[in-house]
Amino acid sequence: MGSATQKDTAAVRVDVAVIGAGPSGLTMAILLARHGFTTALVAPADPPEDDRTTALLDSSVALLRALDLWQEIEPHTAPLAHMRIVDDTGRLIRAPETVFDAAELDLPAFGYNIRNRDLNGALGATAAETPGLVRVIGRVEAIRSDATGASVTVDSGETVTAALVVGADGRRSMVREAAGIDTRDWRYPQAALIVNLEHDVPHHDHSTEFHTPTGPFTLVPLKGNRSSLVCVVEPEEAERLKALPDDALAAELERRAHSVLGAMRIAGARHIYPLGGLSANRLGAARCALIGEAAHVFPPIGAQGLNLGLRDVAALGEILVAAKTRGEDIGGAATLERYERARRPDIASRVAAVDLLNRSLLSDLLPVQALRGLGLYAIGRIGPLRRMMMREGIAPSLGRPRLMRGLSIGGNGG
Ligand SMILES: Cc1cc2nc3c(=O)[nH]c(=O)nc-3n(C[C@H](O)[C@H](O)[C@H](O)COP(=O)(O)OP(=O)(O)OC[C@H]3O[C@@H](n4cnc5c(N)ncnc54)[C@H](O)[C@@H]3O)c2cc1C
């Protein structure tokens, strides 16, 4: 990857400008450059502090393998071979404990958990060595587009012109705003406290999700005797927990985890994420296409967020390579419409499923509790239903992009 200097890039001209260097933007930029598109990756030099962890599910791993990125990423991951769901609501109608095993799907693991900073580090190192990929340092301030192309103004004074701008600039996306795309936003009366933990008892590649009356309390394995915790509670409770001294917080979390991992120690910074969701009303307009959290934000339930974002990356890459092969305008309305049609059903169904799960956890209505309990009971006991749910949880069976099915998409990338 070349780096932009004042002299040679006062005006950078490329096929695609990718805005944002989080995991979605980095993967998108590498994919495009590998498939013969001249690409600029525009983002500030220092990534924001990201202590989140991501469980990369099977189809995301397939994409990273197809792009030859997995060997750099895997050493930082812990396999997620078993998922245990425990109803800890204490309500009248409770679901029995349910354990999902990846072996039932003939997979070594459902996915692999990694700290976002390790993921971004590995992707960033590869991006820096990728020919055809120019790194432009700075924040995007404005985007103008017309029938011939888009012009991106960076706060460093540089300008990038491209046929297509990919907005990978996260939940407060300025690309989305510049393209005039509205969003549907919603808030839940909860917040997620996240923190990484060390513990005495090995996790044996199990994630454990306690469903509590205020939301999930989820421990996901990291490398060694470590796990990441997402603890969803009322906002005031999140603040109270965050303010506790290390020992007191560790003891409180061990109690909430019913000591399944033994004694715990705090191993990293604590963060609070107010819980909510966002869905862009369109995925493309005015020569801009949205991917990742610029297009959809999920509460951290069911490991959906970035996995959905990587499906955006794979689908958009496939559509752009096909458009280029046919000699079409890669930023034109027809290309953006194809992207919309390819991604909307998956995004809409995931938004609905995660919303339903969260609302059912919060509901005090007995029929809702009964339905959730029965649903988990049926999934736990009926083999084919359980396997179908596991497969759908990993990735939708319909419309999975080619790069996630071990197939190539042409272009220079093969
Ligand atoms: C507690 C928690 C746990 C989660 N766990 C999981 C999980 O297990 N599995 C999963 O799949 N997902 C998970 N997610 C979701 C996942 O973390 C996000 O989907 C993912 O990190 C979003 O990546 P992104 O690249 O789209 O956006 P980001 O990582 O937010 O990156 C956006 C980038 O854009 C840059 N940027 C912003 N504005 C501009 C601008 N104007 N100009 C240039 N650059 C700009 C920023 O600097 C940043 O680098 C979780 C989320 C939370 C909150």
pLDDT in tens, 239-277: 999 999 999 999 999 999 999 999 999 998 999 988 888
Q: Is the CB of 376 under 6 A from ligand 1?
A: no
Model confidence pLDDT, tens digit, residues 156-200 = 999 999 999 999 999 999 999 999 999 999 888 889 999 999 999
What is the mean pLDDT of the segment spanning 329-348?
96
DSSP per-residue codes, 73-86: HGGG-EEE-EEEEE
Ligand 1 atom closest to 120 (CA): 29
What is the mean pLDDT of the segment spanning 129-155?
97
Q: Is the CB of 305 under 6 A from ligand 1?
A: yes
> What count of Cα atoms within 13 Å lies in the side-chain half-sphere of residue 42?
34
Among protein residues, the one with the nearest Cα to ligand 1's atom 5 is: 54
Which pLDDT does position 378 carry in this prediction? 52
Does the pLDDT of residue 83 top 70, yes or no? yes
Phi, psi of 271 (to 5 degrees): -135, 150
Helices 23-34, 305-325: axis angle to 10 degrees equals 20
Identify which of 39, 65, 30, 281 has the alpha carbon closest to the alpha carbon of residue 152. 39
Model confidence pLDDT, tens digit, residues 287-323 = 999 999 999 998 776 667 899 999 999 999 999 999 9
| Domain ranges across the chain | 2-53+115-184+277-362
169: its two tokens: 């600039």
Q: How far is the CA of 167 from the centre of ligand 1 (A)?
A: 12
Find the range with the poorest average confidence among 139-143, 182-186, 277-281, 364-368: 364-368
Which pLDDT does position 350 carry in this prediction? 82
User: β-pairing, 164-167 with 183-199?
Assistant: unpaired
Model confidence pLDDT, tens digit, residues 389-409 = 555 555 555 568 888 888 888
Q: How confident is residue 285, by pLDDT bands cut at 50, 70 and 90?
A: very high
Q: Which CATH fold topology does 2-53+115-184+277-362 show?
A: FAD/NAD(P)-binding domain (3.50.50)
Which pLDDT does position 105 carry in this prediction? 78
Mutation choice for ligand 1 from 46, 54, 139, 218, CB with most ligand atoms inside 8 A: 54
Model confidence pLDDT, tens digit, residues 44-69 = 997 777 778 888 988 899 999 999 99
User: β-pairing, 296-297 with 271-280?
Assistant: antiparallel
Among protein residues, the one with the nearest Cα to ligand 1's atom 21 is: 306
What is the mean pLDDT of the segment spanning 90-99?
64
Does the pLDDT of residue 13 top 80, yes or no? yes
Does the pLDDT of residue 227 top 70, yes or no? yes
For all residues of the chain together, what is the average pLDDT? 87
Which pLDDT does position 7 carry in this prediction? 39
DSSP conformation class of 340: H
Among protein residues, the one with the nearest Cα to ligand 1's atom 39 is: 169
Q: How far is the CA of 297 from the centre of ligand 1 (A)?
A: 9
Q: How far is the CA of 357 from the centre of ligand 1 (A)?
A: 22
Does the pLDDT of residue 90 top 60, yes or no? yes
Quick one: 139 exposed, middle or buried, by C-beta within 10 A (0-12, 13-18, 19+)?
Answer: middle
What is the mean pLDDT of the segment spanning 327-341?
98
What is the mean pLDDT of the segment spanning 208-220?
87
Q: Measure the CA angle with vertex 371, ends 370 and 372; round to 5°.
A: 90
Q: How far is the CA of 310 from the centre of ligand 1 (A)?
A: 11
